[in-house]
């Protein structure tokens, strides 16, 4: 199998209550690719500028990620985002967004990227997501991320893109914005009416929910001792989630989806322990498996009979 | 076994996005008692005024709750609270708090209430919690709830009360306020340094966490189709949680605590489906068991081996 991810490649500047970085490798496609690289062959499609150099390529290639479809825009600058996290770490303010080469990004997929068995459409303009999805017409499993901006200003295009994918990944406030539904399951099912057979609702530091036509599944965030930087947690989750499905041949049965939720959660938990890609870049498969097992342990309970009155 | 709960008995007025009630039975001790009544014999200790009548007693007695220690203050009025819930239902504004007879409440326990095997100290002045706890000196399991007010203005007294109980139940913002710790487990362990052997951290609509010296356990809120009124959810949770421990002889092993988390979660989920005590007053044991089983189903996953790269 192979996985193609299309999305942003960025430099990020972040400040959190625990410190900050002036400039670190980031972007949805990067965080996704590093996380997914534990499961399958990954190809990244996204634009960079002249400031994107050997050190950045080395992080991706160090995890075996194929960078042939990273488009170098001569004379351009790489997407830059800076933000500051609030005390509770579950919300942040964007200080600066310089789209740079990302502003005119028009994904060009090689034959190899088009032939992906599994496709992840990270958060970009919905029209572009739909175009890419049509190019990858043999993909067995396609997942899509989006954001409040597109829900607000490009709803129809987003619906069109959603109608062509298998799984949508949004956070709970985006689901509420999109559907007007306060409850996670009801909101997810409304989105699934457009076509997807499953949906993941991210709950930030509280974990994530999986919704299928028949059931729902809930997993907490892994309780780390210390959160340094939440940047990229959602995309690392998506990388572990989609990667795990790819490792199962793109066959997204409910059992595979649940296991994928655990792998996504485990990798995201490592991501937040250090800044940017620092932790995941040196993560090992054994460490991931350890947290997946731990997640199972901290959520499991037996239900022996209790005699109730009434 | 028998359970004594000491706390507020109230009339509540609430407005939510789905409607409201001008005056409904409420109060921490009431919600707790109704939930716990499925597991054991419950005695309520709390004050009411002349406005508390047969209809209100009937709700408690309808679930077999012993009301002998409800103190009728002649000429007084029952505690009144009114509030409005915001769109996301996870936060609310208090419009009015009339303590009335609750302002001078000094719990007087009968011999029977003092002899409880299990004691729940609902959210009242920490000095009173400590006094009651000392009166119930044969209790095998004692849990305590509190609030931001006491953390802010009566911290030493709260620490003194906490040091004499087995389990503290707070929400995550209260834990952060109390300890300065952002992470649930680290914050809970700091509180447990004062003596308790376990702690429950309520996460509102996201569920709850149990923290023991060796491990943590996480359970989501049960995903109801529709939340009418969150009032009393936390106290219903506590009633199911403490009640389940009482049903196990007050023997709070980790397995019993986990099962108790599930029972508390199940009953709280029914509580929020209608206003005030309306739903729990006509709840059945079979309905509770059904949701406990469902909670197990929607949180369980297998972890077959996945071949990872690196």
| A10-16 and A19-26 strand pairing | antiparallel
The Cα–Cα gap between A160 and A180 comes to: 19
- Chain B residues within an 8 Å CB radius of A285: 308-310
pTM flag (> 0.80): yes
pLDDT averaged over consecutive 10-residue blocks of chain B (310 residues)?
96 94 98 98 98 98 98 98 88 93 96 98 98 98 97 98 98 97 96 98 97 97 95 98 98 98 98 97 98 98 94
Could you read off the pLDDT of A17-57 as tens digits, one per residue? 889 999 999 999 999 999 999 999 999 999 999 999 999 99
Interchain proximity B220–A227, CB inside 8 Å? no
The Cα–Cα gap between B280 and B293 comes to: 18
pLDDT of residue A2: 95
Could you read off the pLDDT of B39-79 as tens digits, one per residue? 999 999 999 999 999 999 999 999 999 999 999 999 999 99
The Cα–Cα gap between A299 and A223 comes to: 12
A244 close to B (CB below 8 A): yes
Interchain proximity A184–B223, CB inside 8 Å? yes
Could you read off the pLDDT of B105-127 as tens digits, one per residue? 999 999 999 999 999 999 999 99
A62 close to B (CB below 8 A): no
For residue B281, the chain A residue with the least C-alpha distance is A310
Higher pLDDT, A88 or A153: A153
All residues at 6 or more sequence positions from A290 whose CB lies less than 8 Å from its CB, including other chains: none
B39 close to A (CB below 8 A): yes
B225 close to A (CB below 8 A): yes
pLDDT band at A249, cuts 50/70/90? very high
Interchain proximity B88–A38, CB inside 8 Å? no
Q: What is the ipTM of this complex?
A: 0.95
pLDDT band at A90, cuts 50/70/90? confident
Q: What angle do CA B145, B149, B154 make, to 5 degrees?
A: 85
| A246 to A102, A120, A140, A240, B135: CA distances (angstroms) | 27, 11, 9, 10, 61
Q: What is B241-283 written as a DSSP string? A: HHHHHHHTTT---HHHHHHHHHHHHHHHHHHTTSSTTHHHHT-
Interchain proximity B263–A39, CB inside 8 Å? no
């Amino acid at each position: 199998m192979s996985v193609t991810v299309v999305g942003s490649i960025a430099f990020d500047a972040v400040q959190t209550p625990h410190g900050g970085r002036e400039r670190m490798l980031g972007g949805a496609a990067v965080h996704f690719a590093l996380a997914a690289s534990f499961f399958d062959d990954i190809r990244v499609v996204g634009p960079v500028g002249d400031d994107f150099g050997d050190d950045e390529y080395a992080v991706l290639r160090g995890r075996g990620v194929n960078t042939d479809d990273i488009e170098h825009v001569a004379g351009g600058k790489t997407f830059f985002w800076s933000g500051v996290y609030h005390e509770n770490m579950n919300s942040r303010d964007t200080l600066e967004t310089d789209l740079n080469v990302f502003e005119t990004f028009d994904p060009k997929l090689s034959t190899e990227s088009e032939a992906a068995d599994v496709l992840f459409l990270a958060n970009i303009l919905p029209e572009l997501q739909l175009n890419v999805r049509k190019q990858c017409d043999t993909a067995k499993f396609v997942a899509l991320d989006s954001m409040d901006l597109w829900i607000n200003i490009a709803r129809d295009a987003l619906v069109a893109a959603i109608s062509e994918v298998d799984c949508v990944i949004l956070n709970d406030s985006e689901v509420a914005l999109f559907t007007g539904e306060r409850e996670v399951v009801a909101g997810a099912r409304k989105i699934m009416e457009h076509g997807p057979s499953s949906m993941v609702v991210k709950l930030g530091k509280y974990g994530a929910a999986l919704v299928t036509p028949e059931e729902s599944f809930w997993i907490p965030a892994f309780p780390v001792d210390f959160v340094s930087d939440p940047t990229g947690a959602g995309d690392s989750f998506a990388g572990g989630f989609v990667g795990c499905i790819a490792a199962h041949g793109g066959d997204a049965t409910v059992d595979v989806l649940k296991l994928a939720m655990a792998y996504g959660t485990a990798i995201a938990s490592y991501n937040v322990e250090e800044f940017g890609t620092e932790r995941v870049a040196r993560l090992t498969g054994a460490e991931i498996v350890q947290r997946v097992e731990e997640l199972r342990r901290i959520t499991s309970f037996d239900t022996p009979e209790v005699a109730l009155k009434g």
